[in-house]
């Protein structure tokens, strides 16, 4: 039996007790909550702005970088392929929301930035987006939000330490 198989067999023998499943239930609840919020945002972006969450996220990255971003920077920030970024850029450029400019540091590359129309549209979408998030999170008090924030930060820090092991 290989070392990995031995480890797996040992871990099955030490399966967590029913009481220990609280962490798994919390993880699934976090995922489900995230998906539910994302679903509301997707629907409202489509309904009110006839746009997608991917386009909103793309514009948000450009809004944070007024000097523009290289295509590969956008791809890395959005964690999507270069092909996805090219498709979004083409579409948004045709609509006059973004522009491609030659990169002064690399003649082979382009920087993508918002146009005035793109900045105006994104500002309206971002304002609405924040209002939707505030409404969704209205189910909990400010004190509870702070507690949740602290607990999630604690979990995130622990996960980052575990990732380095």
Give the pLDDT confidence of 121-161 residue by residue, as tens digits.
Answer: 999 999 999 999 999 999 999 999 999 999 999 999 999 99
Query: Which residues does 107 contact at the CB level (< 8 Å), separation at least 6?
Result: none
**Domain spans, the chain:** 35-163
pTM to 2 decimal places: 0.80
Helix (H, G, I), strand (E, B) or coil at 69: strand
Q: In what order do the strands lie in the sheet with 106-114?
A: 69-70, 106-114, 98-103
pLDDT confidence band for 35 (50 / 70 / 90): very high
- Write the CATH number of the domain with boundaries 35-163: 1.10.10.10
Quick one: tokens of 102?
A: 């030659």
Residue 53 has what pLDDT? 95
Question: ∠150-34-60 over CA atoms, to 5°?
Answer: 90
pLDDT digits (tens, 9 = 90+) for 65-114: 999 999 889 999 998 888 889 999 999 999 999 999 988 888 788 899 99
Half-sphere exposure of 55 (CA within 13 A, CB side): 22
């Amino acid at each position: 039996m290989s070392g990995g198989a031995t480890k797996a067999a040992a871990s099955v023998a030490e399966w967590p007790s029913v009481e220990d499943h609280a962490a798994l239930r919390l993880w699934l609840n976090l995922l489900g909550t995230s998906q539910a919020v994302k679903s509301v945002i997707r629907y409202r972006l489509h309904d009110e702005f006839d746009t997608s969450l991917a386009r909103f996220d793309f514009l948000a990255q450009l809004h944070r970088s007024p000097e523009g971003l290289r295509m590969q920077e956008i791809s890395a920030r959005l964690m999507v392929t270069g092909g996805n970024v090219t498709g979004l850029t083409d579409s948004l450029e045709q609509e006059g929301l973004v522009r491609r400019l030659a990169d002064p540091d690399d003649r082979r590359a382009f920087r993508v930035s918002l146009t005035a129309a793109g900045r105006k549209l994104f500002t309206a979408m971002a304002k609405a987006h924040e209002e939707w998030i505030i409404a969704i999170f209205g189910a909990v008090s400010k004190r509870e939000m702070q507690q949740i924030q602290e607990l999630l930060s604690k979990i995130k820090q622990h996960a980052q330490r575990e990732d380095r092991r």
